Amino acid sequence: MEAIYVKNIVKRYKNGVEALNGLSLTVKKGEIFSLLGQNGAGKSTLINILTTYLEPTSGTAKILGNDIYTETDAVRRNIACVAQKTSIDTYLSLKENMILQSKLYKIPKEEAEVRMKILISCFALERYLQYPVSSYSGGVKRRLDIALNLMSNPQILFLDEPTVGMDIQSLMVMWNMMKKIRDELGTTIFLTTHYLEEADDLSDTICIMRNGKEVVQGTPTELRELIKNNMLNIRFANKSEAISCFTELSEARNDIKLFLREEKILVHSKQSIEDLQAISQWLFERKIKFEGIEIVQPTLEDVFLRLTEVNELEEIV
């Protein structure tokens, strides 16, 4: 059974915005799953639906086999969610926060004490004990917030942009914390992010979404293989020169896929050397001014941009 099963979820807000547009994905038990998408892609909307905070307009979603509509209580018992804004009470100490949380989930006192000790030692939080949370930095508060949400022993932990705005050191600590949650507590983690390096470093599975729908789901290696072919990069002095060449080249070579990115044209190429020769010759013959042309290796960022970029010219041509 999957940890999370989502099929054709649609969410239309009252103002008519269709935030999710028939999205489907599956999350395996015990994995770190990253949902990657630009601002407004619909990531938080999906988290709000899966955590039963929002109702979808249509579609099916199951958490550990329980339907989010008809088995809402069972769903809620198995999950915890750290939202974009922290929920931690800054006037209380970490221990007081943890006890409050265990009361909320009706966890017996002794069990709560044991759980608290495990979490504090697992995430090296000893030095933050006793002092009010208000005295800690944003990065530390986020980590405390996550530890707090693990008090109820959830099987699935939802994290909405857990590392946004963090410095590199806090980022490393946070990534290790997430791996420990998966490896030592066996918790499935579903997180959203804008950062590719984060998804790449952490995730067992990545789902890239755009405009309310999944574009692709796979391991970081599988995603990279999607465009394992090389690319040609043609650089121009400015964007308008790139656009004018883009239009002309698209007409001349409808057998190759072109992408316009700022003052560059990227060509996805199966035979990069032959294409390099043919396109250079084409540019010289037409006396088109350009700054340089070279063969480049695609990065995960290229995969992401290629799959998520809305390029007006591409849509026209």
Ligand X SMILES: Nc1ncnc2c1ncn2[C@@H]1O[C@H](COP(=O)(O)OP(=O)(O)OP(=O)(O)O)[C@@H](O)[C@H]1O
List 9, 23, 25, 43, residue binding ligand X (CB under 6 A):
43
DSSP secondary structure code for residue 129 in this structure: S
Site string (45-74) toward ligand X, x via CB under 6 A: x-----------------------------
CA 249 – CA 266 distance, rounded (Å) = 11
17 interacts with ligand X by CB under 6 A: yes
> Which H/E stretch holds residue 213?
strand 213-218
Stretch that binds ligand X, among 15-23, 125-133, 248-256, 266-274 (CB under 6 A): 15-23
Stretch that binds ligand X, among 43-51, 121-129, 227-235, 297-305 (CB under 6 A): 43-51
Q: Which is nearer to ligand X, 143 or 213 (CB)?
A: 213
The label of the residue with tokens 């992010």 reads 193
Which of the residues 169 through 188 are near Mg ion (CB under 5 A)?
none
List 20, 27, 44, 303, residue binding Mg ion (CB under 5 A):
44
Minimum distance of ligand X from residue 83's CB (angstroms): 11
163 interacts with Mg ion by CB under 5 A: no
Characterize 252-275 residue by residue with b for buried, 16 or more Cβ atoms within 10 angstroms of its Cβ, and e for exposed: eeeebebbbeebbbbbbbeebeeb
40 interacts with ligand X by CB under 6 A: yes
Minimum distance of ligand X from residue 41's CB (angstroms): 4
Q: Which is nearer to ligand X, 212 or 220 (CB)?
A: 212
CA 16 – CA 10 distance, rounded (Å) = 12
Stretch that binds ligand X, among 13-21, 195-203, 263-271, 297-305 (CB under 6 A): 13-21
Contact of 188 with 111, CB cutoff 8 Å = no
Minimum distance of ligand X from residue 167's CB (angstroms): 20
Q: Which is nearer to Mg ion, 124 or 164 (CB)?
A: 164
CA 210 – CA 22 distance, rounded (Å) = 11
The label of the residue with tokens 């890239």 reads 208
- List all residues 6 or more positions away from 32 whose beta carbon is below 8 Å from its beta carbon: 178, 179, 182, 189, 191, 202, 203, 204, 205
Question: What is the bridge-based pairing of β-strands 4-12 and 156-160?
Answer: unpaired
Task: Give contact residues for ligand X (rule: CB under 6 A).
Answer: 13, 15, 17, 19, 37, 39-45
